[in-house]
Structure 1
Amino acid sequence: MASKLSLDPLAVLVALALAGAALSMTIALAQASRERAPQAVLANQTSASVAEVNAVESQALNSRWVVSADEAKQLIAQGATVLDARGGLKLQKPLARAIAVNWKQFAQPHAPDQGKLLDDDHLLTQKLQAVGVSRDKPVIAVGDPARGWGEDGRVVWMLRTLGHQKAVLVDGGYQALVKAGVPTAWSAATVAPRPGDFVVERTTAWTIDRAQLKAELGQQNVVVIDTREAREYAGATPYGEQRGGHIPGALHIYYKDLLDQNGKLLPREQMITKLEQLGVTQDTQVVAYCTGGIRSGWFTSILSDLGYKAKNYAGSMWDWSAGPVASYPLEKTN
């Protein structure tokens, strides 16, 4: 005869309560998981969107050589490298986190080649890495357009020529950045706290040497532009040129004629008009020069930003005037 199973009523009630609690917890966890899933997807989509926007902005710098102070401020907040290229004109406080550079530290040391970039790519790589230049990080060169010599444009031209695709200068320079709220510091370092990883890979897209320029003189679609002061174009030699005058056939426009009295670039349409008056079109190959490729480096950067084909003759008058008179003549004007 089978024995009867005896159950404690209290135990049964406890078991049922525990089972119910477990079921309720399972249902609650499932519901929470469903609620969190869209939020997680939205968060991932938002992060992806921000990264995509930053990537687009970074990609856009490939074709832009000039940015506004507000754009530069945003790039600095995102970690761009800032190079203060003002040199001896640094009378104001430097920008916070900026690394002080001088165009001369990347150029050949002896006359008449002091306008040319160093020939040693390994040495240039070391120097640029020391000031924090990295492959994929934008570089912002800062100058003093109103009182300087276009050093920021020279640095941008140099970096582009050495293979960096995201080097830009700031319209209005230092003063515009300070006005935009970029903080300053009491002093600027000359070495970055963390070295960059940029490696020099030269391009000839924006540079030309003396022999190449001589060969291109007189070609129909080539316009040579002297960016110095009018007195230098006429024949004055205030900066150590061995001979005075200008390269035969060169047209003249002082590089600061593209700036207003406050050191800001003229409106795009006005700059284009000035260039058209010189016979420069989008199809023209412009070759710019000055004394040592500084002012003309700036000019080349501005024209490149405007979409023109421009090359900087870095050796410029120091180099040309040192050549044999018969091979590298100069013209003078009254």
Structure 2
Amino acid sequence: MKLGLLVASLLAVLVGCQQKPTKIVTQEPVIGENITAERLMKDNPVILDARPSFEFNLAHVPGAINVRWEDFSQQNPKSRGLLQPDLFSLARRLSLIGVDPQTKVLVLGKGPQGAGEEGRVAWTLKVLGVKEVYTVLHTSYREMNPTKEAPLVQNKPYWKPDVAETLTTDFKDFKNMVSKADSSLVVIDVRSAQEYALRNLSQIKDVKASVINMNWTEFFGEKGLPEKKIESALYEKNISKDTKILVISNHGVRSGAVTYALNFLGYKKASNFAGGYEQWK
């Protein structure tokens, strides 16, 4: 009898020591470990919409401002991927739509249905020194912010851009770097496989650098933000966060988007050859 009571007592203690199930409240992660959709909407970011103007006029987020990547670029058709040389003028233009280096900015776009326009705009802002820039699919915005309307934009004082020169590489430097067999350097061609098969840098005799093809859409997730999973694919290609990466596309739009994504994910040695194949030829 005493043995039975002892066993019953031990079972009661063990059951009492078991922890109750923890109720887990999850937020859908947008990128990394600590950025969520809710946090993106905190502090009323400036909303830029990089879609074509006719799509913007058909339907857009209240308070959003329509910008085109071409608004910041040169007009010469042979080098239209290059930013306008007067970067201070670009910064002044941004101040008139409420953007300065401390402004949180969301750039809306079409994601894989587009050509990387929102990523190119985000890259431009990062080159000019804007610290917090996020790309988001236009169709995802309402899911992230179902109740609040976008705030009215207020002008900011003029500011001088603190240019992030490492995010862009000019033609002379690009040509010089790819002409050397440098194992610490890789060129990522982010055009489609079909474009790459027709013409790419590895077919040029003077190019000694390693050239690989990865479609630009691989670098962005379902919500339009940089895709953290791409790190595994890059690792398999021996590309680490210490690797020097030159990104190329036809005229610096898709490559600008990928450079933005890589920088966002911690690949601080990634740079956009903004002139692209248009300037190379």
The TM-score range, normalised by the shorter chain, is: 0.7 to 0.9
Displacement of 1:222 in angstroms is: 0.8
2:91 paired with 1:132: no
2:251 paired with 1:286: no
What is the 5 A alignment of 1:44-59? Answer: none
Summarize deviations over 1:298-333 as a string: whole Å, max 9, x none.
111111122112111111111111xxxxxxxxxxxx
2:133 — aligned with what?
Answer: 167
2:51 paired with 1:86: yes
1:176 — aligned with what?
Answer: 140
2:177 — aligned with what?
Answer: 216
What is the 5 A alignment of 1:56-135? Answer: 68-74=36-42, 78-88=43-53, 89-90=55-56, 93-135=59-101
What is the 5 A alignment of 1:198-277? Answer: 198-217=159-178, 218-235=181-198, 244-246=199-201, 248=207, 249-259=210-220, 262=222, 264=224, 268=228, 270-277=229-236
- Alpha carbons of structure 1 residues 79 and 181: separation in structure 2 relative to 1, 3 Å: closer
What runs of 5+ residues in structure 2 fail to find an aligned partner?
1-31
Q: 2:122 aligns with which of 156, 169, 187?
A: 156
Q: Which has the higher strand share?
A: 2
Answer whether contact 1:95 1:184 (CA < 8 A) is retained. Answer: no
Answer whether contact 1:73 1:177 (CA < 8 A) is retained. Answer: no
Aligned-partner Cα distance in 2 for 1:201–1:316: 24
- Alpha carbons of structure 1 residues 181 and 201: separation in structure 2 relative to 1, 3 Å: closer
Structure with bigger gyration radius: 1
Aligned-partner Cα distance in 2 for 1:168–1:226: 23
Q: Percent of counterpart pairs with the same letter?
A: 27
SS state at 2:176 partner:
helix
- Alpha carbons of structure 1 residues 219 and 310: separation in structure 2 relative to 1, 3 Å: same
Normalised by the size of structure 1, how large is the TM-score?
0.64
Q: 1:141 aligns with which of 102, 107, 120?
A: 107
Aligned-partner Cα distance in 1 for 2:224–2:134: 15
Matched positions, count: 237
1:305 — aligned with what?
Answer: 264
1:136 is matched by which residue type in structure 2?
Q
- Alpha carbons of structure 1 residues 117 and 182: separation in structure 2 relative to 1, 3 Å: farther
Displacement of 1:169 in angstroms is: 2.0
Displacement of 1:254 in angstroms is: 0.6
2:11 — aligned with what?
Answer: none
Aligned-partner Cα distance in 2 for 1:271–1:121: 31
SS state at 2:270 partner:
strand
Normalised by the size of structure 2, how large is the TM-score?
0.75
State the Cα RMSD in Å: 2.6
Answer whether contact 1:140 1:168 (CA < 8 A) is retained. Answer: yes
Displacement of 1:286 in angstroms is: 0.8
Q: Which stretch of structure 1 is more off in the superposition, 152-161 or 134-143?
A: 134-143
1:129 is matched by which residue type in structure 2?
S
2:156 — aligned with what?
Answer: 196
Aligned-partner Cα distance in 1 for 2:35–2:76: 34
What runs of 5+ residues in structure 1 fail to find an aligned partner?
1-63, 236-243, 322-334
- Alpha carbons of structure 1 residues 204 and 266: separation in structure 2 relative to 1, 3 Å: closer
Displacement of 1:265 in angstroms is: 5.8
- Alpha carbons of structure 1 residues 163 and 264: separation in structure 2 relative to 1, 3 Å: closer
